[in-house]
Amino acid sequence: MLLSELEIGSQAKVVRVTGDDAVSKRLMEMGVVPGVVVRVVKTAPFGDPIQIRLRGYSLAIRRNEADTIEVIA
Amino acid sequence: MKSANVATNNGELTIALAGNPNAGKTTLFNELTGLRQKVANYPGVTVERKEGNWTVGGKQARLIDLPGLYSVDATSIDEQIARDVLTGRVDGLPRPDAIVAVVDATNLERNLYLVTQLLELRIPTVVALTMIDEFERQKHEIDAKRFSKLLSAPAVAVTASKGRGIEELSAEVAKAVGGMPEIPPALRFEEDATNNSRIFGRYHFISDVVQGSVRHKDLEAHNLSEKVDKVLTHRIFGLLILASVLLVVFQTIFSWANIPMDLLEQGFGAFGDTVRGVMPDGILADLVVDGMIAGVGGVLVFLPQILLLFLFISLLEDSGYMARAAFLLDKLMSRVGLHGKTFLPLVSSFACAIPGIMAARTIENPKDRLVTILIAPFMSCSARLPVYTLMIATFFAGQTVLGFVSLGAVLMLAMYTLGIAAAIIVGFVLKKTVLRTSSAPFVMELPPYRLPNLRNVFQNMFLRAWLFIKRAGTVILSISIVLWALTAFPRTGPTYVHLGNGAVNPATAEVAAANEEFRKSEQIKHSFAGQLGHAIEPMIRPLGFDWKIGVGLIASFAAREVLVSTLSIIYNVGKDADEESDNLLTAIREAKRDDGGKVWTPLTALTLMVFFVFAMQCMSTVAVVRRETNSWIWAGFMVVYMTVVAYVAAFVTYQGGRLLGFE
């Protein structure tokens, strides 16, 4: 499934980051690599972006970006 | 093999300070260098280059503060610059003899990613572990010796605000300089390794280092920030709190800053009078008082606003709240193609575009930042108010719409709305054309909430103020002199008001004053500015403007509110008339064209207001844009496109109004 489909508060393990562009590279550099556990913390008031937590820190990404992250529960 | 410190100038060491944003790099830099800092730009780009002196093992060292980075793989300008500095490709900067890598201990894995890349560069690297108090409060433990060994780089725990670990850091750097460290085997990639495999490899290495040296009790147990966020980024309270924060910021800038601003203005006025008193009358006194003191003073009055705005920005950034504001508002801003962080600079520009444009430096993406800078001056700033007020007071006072709403208020609101609409449209167009970004990446860290370091906050505030005075000041001084010269040359000889029978009697003070006003008005008519006004008259006639308004437009390039004093001089009602002065209102209402028709109608007034919404009538803004974009091209582009928009909008207003039957 995709990270964007995860329910708020649930966590999952990253399988891969699709897309081969600056955004996917930046996501991976920020630690979103296969095997890392990611938790969806909340969405912003207008529904986008979302806040995720990984490796002990928080990251805000837009839903477009979350769509490129494949996860497994 | 060449030793790294061969490249240094006169034995001085060059040391680079690198680290993630929010890792405590600024605090450490300030602690290491004290006030011995200087700021410049890297050649050709907007990235700021900060450096200072640091004593390492008894030797002077040049400490280069790199921009905050997550990676040195060049995807952003910051990263490109950092890479160039580290590989010795920046003019006038030798390849660093050592790197101090600032690593936030509470966010170890992600911070170490940059360190792995630094290790691959084979420059001696010393890790400074910051936030160690917080780390220990969270019941984590780190075995520093093992950490250093696994990472194959020395590591020192520092608490910069208390000066702890600073000497040890200096000793470790002194020891490391001159060496040629080996790359850890796990980070030796094949030449043709893909980006992905390198990134995975680095994180794999990081996991090994962290697992071998750090004992985590529970990463999430002390996650205080998430609890605070339950309120601060709450879908209702979060927005309400943000609105209140902004309200306080703008109340301060808009209204409380007026007290010191008025004082400065009076101070410069008094200073000008004093100087005029001691200097002999004549051209030199005019140059110094009307040109230099009035020009520079007119710009320096913005200083309180700039100081206060930067005080708030520093507090909001350093506490971690700014990222939350961008998080809350990103969706709204992205609808018009902008970034969440565009919001603050734009709203600040309602007070004054100068601090607003300077605030745009919080936007990392250079293109988004440039778009923000280019549209910020459309926000109706406080200097437009006197112009709006004069026009409304002259032609629309006391009128109502729907029986009870003041027409003046409606027009005022319309002018503000017009500016906002223009900013959105132009921003959208720029993003779709010249400043197109391939995708709109929004990957933003939400740093933990922390108490701002007051020393950093004040140092930043005064640094910004000083840069404003220094850089903008030089440009503004030259433009002031040019504008003054345009109104002061060529000189008109003494002229006298002829009283009734034509007798010249400058004996009484009243007549002398009248003579002086008349002389000034004659002077401006025949000056270059007056001639320019005549020259541009054919161009502005389709807007309903005559040459006198043309002179006002030219003179108010210095600052918008100058229009009021220029019109006062031209209409010969005295320079001290302000936007509520009855003389001026009457003079404007009764001004005649050469053919006897009235110059001003309500339609002309409305057209002039529309022109002022859009036109780039502010040399201080141009100077600041030049400084912030490091380019005359963008500053010039802004003047040209805003003037074109202003002309077209004024043309449509005036000619459209006439078609609809208005005079």
Among partner residues B199, B235, B334, which is closest to A45 by beta-carbon distance? B235
Q: What percent of chain B has pLDDT over 70?
A: 89
- Residues of chain A contacting residue B439, judged by C-beta atoms under 8 Å apart: 21-23, 64
The set of residues, in sequence order, having a beta carbon less than 8 Å from that of A54 and lying 6+ positions away, is A31, A32, A36, A37, A38, A39
Interface probe with B: pick from A8, A29, A51, most Cβ of B within 10 Å: A29
Give B-chain residues touching A29 at CB under 8 angstroms. 70-71, 73, 113, 199
Which residue is closest to A21 within chain B, CA to CA?
Answer: B439
CB-closest option in B110, B328, B439 to A44? B328
A26 CA: distance to closest CA in chain B (Å): 8
- Is A41 in the B-facing interface, judged by CB distances under 8 Å? yes
pLDDT tops 50 at residue B502: no
- pLDDT category of residue B505 using cuts at 50, 70 and 90: low
Please judge whether B70 and A31 are an interchain contact, meaning their C-beta atoms are less than 8 angstroms apart: no
- Nearest-neighbour CA in chain A from B53: distance (Å): 32
Tens of pLDDT, residue by residue over B270-283, are: 998 899 889 888 88
pLDDT band at A58 (very low <50, low <70, confident <90, very high): very high
Cα dihedral sign, B461-B462-B466-B467: negative
Q: Which of B265-269, B295-299, B318-322 has the lowest mean pLDDT?
A: B295-299
pTM exceeds 0.90 for this model: no
ipTM of the complex: 0.96
Which of these, B104, B86, B64, B100, lies nearest to B172 by C-alpha position?
B100
Each residue's pLDDT tens digit, B515-536: 776 777 777 778 888 888 889 9
Q: What is the mean pLDDT of chain B?
A: 84
The domains located in chain A, with CATH, are: 3-72 (2.30.30.90)
Q: Which of B569, B534, B590, B57 is nearest to B290 (CA)?
A: B569
CATH superfamily, region B4-215: P-loop containing nucleotide triphosphate hydrolases (3.40.50.300)
Contact status, residue B322 vs residue B362, Cβ threshold 8 Å: yes
Encode pLDDT of A9-49 as tens digits. 999 999 999 977 778 888 999 999 999 999 999 999 988 89
Return d(Cα B310, Cα B299) in angstroms, integer: 17
Residues 163-202 of B with CB under 8 A from A: 195-196, 199-200
- Nearest by CB to A59, from B236, B440, B445: name it: B445
Q: Which two tokens stand for residue B216?
A: 């985590």
| Amino acid identity for residue B196 in this structure | N
User: Is B237 near chain A, with CB under 8 Å?
Assistant: no
Look at residue B654 in the predicted model and tell me its pLDDT: 95
pLDDT tens digits for B93-109?
899 999 999 999 999 99
CB contacts of A56 in chain B (<8 Å) are: 106-109, 219-220
Find out whether B101 and B114 touch, Cβ atoms under 8 Å: yes
What are the tens digits of pLDDT across the range B450-476? 999 888 889 888 887 887 777 556 666
- Chain A CA closest to residue B239: A45
